[in-house]
Amino acid sequence: MTSMVPVQIVGTRADSRAAMSVVLLADPNRVTRIVPVVVSGDEAQSIARVLSGAAEPQPDTHDLTATLISLAGSQLEEVVITELRDGVLFAELFVETAGGMQSTSAHASDGVALAVRAGAPVFIRKGVLDAAGVHLDRDVSAALTDSEIDRVLAEHQIFVESDATPDAVGGPWRAHEGRPQQDIGWMGD
């Protein structure tokens, strides 16, 4: 059986002018390996709003999907990040329906966005965590610092440029090119 590690969102970074931003996932008991999940800037801000309890100005696609799942009498039970392929993380979403447990594949970013809305746990396969995680030597009880976040993003940039195909992530993503970045929703701040 494949080993699963529970993860939670430890931060989001939204870049208002970039095509992509990130949600940072980590094992809540050992925040020493961070997995950056590439999302759109709007998606990062939307996830941060949900986590903070702020109201959405207008429902987005993930809100609509979560509402439709609920209206169908179903519930998102869990999201499992199962694969890293061409630099892109994929997940399996498990939904309890009237007909029993059903699953479907999705990009990890969509799975995480739905999980925060449904209050569902997120897990990652240990092998995927080992491959995609950025290791930090740090005090696990302390909040992530800006320099740690920058290091995670820089290592992720190197990973994307070396292992991912540009088409898989919308072109080589560079974390620092003079674009203003906004840190939102850091847990522990």
pLDDT per residue as tens, the chain (189 positions): 569 999 998 888 765 555 568 888 988 777 678 898 988 877 888 888 888 888 877 888 999 999 999 999 999 999 999 999 988 899 999 999 999 999 999 999 999 999 999 999 999 999 999 888 888 776 656 677 777 777 777 776 655 444 443 333 333 333 323 333 333 333 343
* Residue 45 Cα distances to 39, 105, 183, angstroms: 10, 23, 10
Q: Which helix (H) or strand (E) holds 132?
A: helix 126-132
pTM of the predicted structure, to 2 decimals: 0.77
User: Which helix (H) or strand (E) element contains residue 68?
Assistant: helix 61-71
180: three-class secondary structure by DSSP: coil
